[in-house]
Chain A
Amino acid sequence: MNIIGPDYLVFGVDDVAASIEYLTAFGLKPVDVTDKGGLFEALDGTGIIIRHKSDPTLPPPLPTSNMLRQQVYGVRANEDLDAIEAELSKDRRVTRLADGSVETKDDHGFELKFQVSKRRELNMPAEKINAPGAPAQRKPNEIGVWEEMPAAPRSLSHVVLFVPDIEIATNFYCGRLGFVITDVLKGAGPFLRPKANDDHHTLFFIRTPEYMKGCEHLAFHMGGPTELMVAGTRFVKKGYQSFWGPGRHKFGSNWFWYFNSPLGCHFEYDADMDKHDDEWIAREAPMGAEASQIVLFEMREKWAPGGPPPGAKP
């Protein structure tokens, strides 16, 4: 089953106008968006779909405060959809839609959809750095930062779920859908990578009581740590609320910056995540501040040393 990763995450929100404002400011591009909601795309066409929570076209909600209504996974080809349908219809209802996509639920009741991935192939450079001892990545006269530099989310990276039972969740995604565990935070849960994606994780679970079931956060890949910090700084300046970061995680090595949102979960910018193949042996670390990050910063207003020399007349 060649699952690539999340194409879209679908939300039923209680304030469509606020969510439209938020997603646009976050850097996603509205596509066919009306006052009823619509799709907000990253550069590769993956993204977030919102509707009002009362919209009858949405899959049903969980009985918690969660607003995530469906994870839409992209697969490589039609044969993968057939394989998923064959495997999952052994023990649950699976619906084939007219466009060939497949809808069902996981073992915790999270709604799922599988489709031949709609993501577009990106062809753009990663952030370039220069360092002694290595060939320069930026040519002479090629500058690294400028005030209006682009810093747009490139691709939907991962989703993190609060689930009551890690074993049930892992058995379903690994045992039935072919995800692989890359690392484990003991006390929280495992990081998972689907077979057709070499990113460290597209899915992570955190064990919680039943009444918390839902989405903890989702993340979009940026072009590098500088883009991440530029995008986050612009976001904070517009009044949006930083939750955690910027910093760099240990497992996955990805830079992170998390923000509150009107969609009932955190939104994260991430950058420069590790890649893995089947040779990799999963590590384990106890959940906690030490294991969570190699560095953590908190944004402050711009400041510079300087001003008039001491004692100078104003």
Chain B
Amino acid sequence: MTSAQPLCHADEIAEGEARGFGPLEGYRRKIVVLRHNGTLHAWLDACPHYPGGTPMAWKTDAYLNGEKTHIACHSHGALFDMETGECVLGPCLGQQLTRIALTMSDEGEIFVTAAQEEKRA
């Protein structure tokens, strides 16, 4: 229904970095985009520990743990695999972050399609 919404240029997210975008139309929370082993991954900024999912950063764009090896929820320190979104330590052990599909233009701009997240519910 809604057209693709631009986030940024792919080059703006360096290896081992994460950034939050939004909230964008059709999404109840921000979208976290990170680059790990060269590949971009996007996750909904919603920790599965508490119902409804709660925001994970401790400060703007501060989504990773101290060692920068995992996405961390800075509510109770849950750690998530950057590539699979699975919680490997913490209160939501074994649960998953919600993956958001990214598209990239020929020029390298990255986009998300709105309302995709609603389908999950």
Contacts and interface: CB of A to CB of B under 8 A. Distances in A.
Contact of B74 (A212, A216, A260): A260
Interface in B40-71: 54-60, 62, 65-67
A67 interface: yes
Contact of A260 (B57, B65, B91): B57
A260 B78 contact: no
Contacts of B66: 13-15, 18, 262
B60 A162 contact: no
- Which size class do B's interface residues fall under? 20 to 34
A265 B72 CA distance: 12
Contacts of A18: 58, 62, 66
A265 B60 CA distance: 17
Interface string A240-267: 1101000000000000000111101110
Q: Which 3 A-B pairs have the closest CB atoms?
A: A14-B66, A15-B66, A264-B77
Given A66-B77, A212-B91, 10 more contacts: A18-B66, A65-B89, A67-B77, A211-B91, A241-B57, A260-B55, A260-B73, A261-B58, A261-B74, A266-B75
Interface of B: 54-60, 62, 65-67, 73-79, 89-91, 93
28 contacts: A14-B66, A15-B65, A22-B59, A64-B90, A65-B76, A65-B89, A65-B91, A66-B76, A66-B77, A162-B76, A162-B91, A208-B91, A211-B91, A211-B93, A214-B76, A215-B76, A238-B59, A241-B58, A241-B60, A260-B55, A260-B57, A260-B73, A262-B66, A262-B74, A264-B74, A264-B77, A265-B75, A266-B76
